[in-house]
């Protein structure tokens, strides 16, 4: 198949798929989602993505209708049906299907929605241009909910400004990006990244960056940093499943980073190598 859509057992190309109007994802965004990439029909960091999915579902009281083992089997069955060697895999779980009412009167059966299409990860060595924006999202950012209007607004703004991503901040403190995590390499060579609390999503790529920093003996500080600290950092690093470890070269039109190229390259090589090794 050129691409694939799946909804509660029904499979077709994405263009031919439909979902019920009463799926609670349509009215309330009442669901969670995950995204990963596959190469050679092998999915990257699938265990970590599924673990986060079940954590998010539990926080919202959504009961995923499949065990982790069953979900792995389903995803691999679908990935192997798509012809492309490199794919993006998106899946979401909504609370269920019912007439529009904020609090359903009975427990619903969750809906499973998956789509798969050809896509390669971005060039992690290509510097990114960023802008900043006040973080006006709610305080449950640790749940990978499909309620993404603030991220949509920030992404549209970035597109209008001709840049790649938007960095959110609450007051002076940086949280994360519209659809990425952001970390800095400080002048003393340490990696600093916002703590994995309710103000950010604990990104899988962020976790991989931390893992390799520790492997290489790079100190890791999980504390919020300010906009000024970001602007003056040795490097600004954007991490996401499709980005891995991209540096920022510009924020709000001001040149940034470029002061720790050897450490940055070491981390990029390690993360790209990890992706290739686990998808061979």
Instruction: Give catalytic residue positions.
Output: 144
Give me 178's structure tokens: 């519209």
Instruction: Count Cβ atoms within 10 A of the Cβ of residue 253 and give its class: 0-12 exposed, 13-18 middle, 19 or more buried.
Output: exposed
Nearest to 31 by CA among 70, 73, 66, 63: 63
Calpha distance 66→246 (Å, rounded): 35
N- to C-terminal Cα separation, the chain:
21
Tell me the C-alpha distance between 40 and 275, whole Å. 11
- Compute the CA torsion angle 42, 43, 45, 51 (nearest 10 deg): -130
Taking residue 2's Cβ as centre, other Cβ atoms within 10 Å add up to 11
Whether residue 184 contacts residue 192, with contact meaning beta carbons closer than 8 Å, is answered with yes
Return the DSSP state at 277.
H
Contact by Cβ (8 Å): 17, 10: yes
């Amino acid at each position: 198949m050129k691409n694939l859509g799946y909804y509660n057992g029904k499979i077709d190309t994405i263009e031919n798929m439909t979902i019920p109007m009463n799926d609670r994802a349509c009215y309330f965004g009442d669901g969670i989602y995950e995204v990963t990439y596959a190469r050679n029909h092998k999915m990257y960091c699938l265990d970590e993505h599924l673990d986060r999915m079940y954590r998010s579902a539990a926080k919202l009281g959504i009961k995923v209708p499949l065990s982790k083992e069953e979900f792995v089997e389903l995803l691999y069955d679908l990935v192997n049906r798509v012809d492309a060697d490199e794919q993006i895999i998106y899946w979401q779980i909504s609370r269920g299907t019912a007439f529009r009412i904020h609090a359903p009167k009975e427990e619903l059966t969750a809906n499973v929605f998956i789509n798969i299409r050809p896509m390669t990860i971005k060039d992690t060595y290509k510097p990114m241009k960023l802008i900043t924006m006040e973080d006006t999202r709610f305080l449950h950012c640790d749940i990978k909910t499909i309620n993404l209007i603030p991220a949509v607004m920030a992404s549209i703004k970035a597109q209008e400004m001709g840049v790649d991503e938007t960095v959110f901040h609450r007051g002076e403190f940086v949280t994360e990006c519209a659809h990425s995590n952001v970390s800095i390499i400080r002048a003393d060579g340490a990696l600093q990244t916002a703590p994995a609390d309710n103000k950010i999503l604990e990104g899988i790529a962020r976790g991989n960056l931390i893992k390799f920093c520790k492997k290489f003996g790079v100190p890791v500080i999980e504390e919020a940093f300010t906009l000024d600290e970001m602007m003056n950092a040795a490097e600004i690093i954007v991490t996401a499943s499709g980005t891995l470890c991209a540096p920022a070269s510009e924020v709000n039109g001001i040149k940034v980073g470029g002061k720790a190229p050897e450490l940055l390259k070491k981390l990029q090589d390690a993360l790209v190598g990890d992706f290739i090794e686990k998808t061979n």
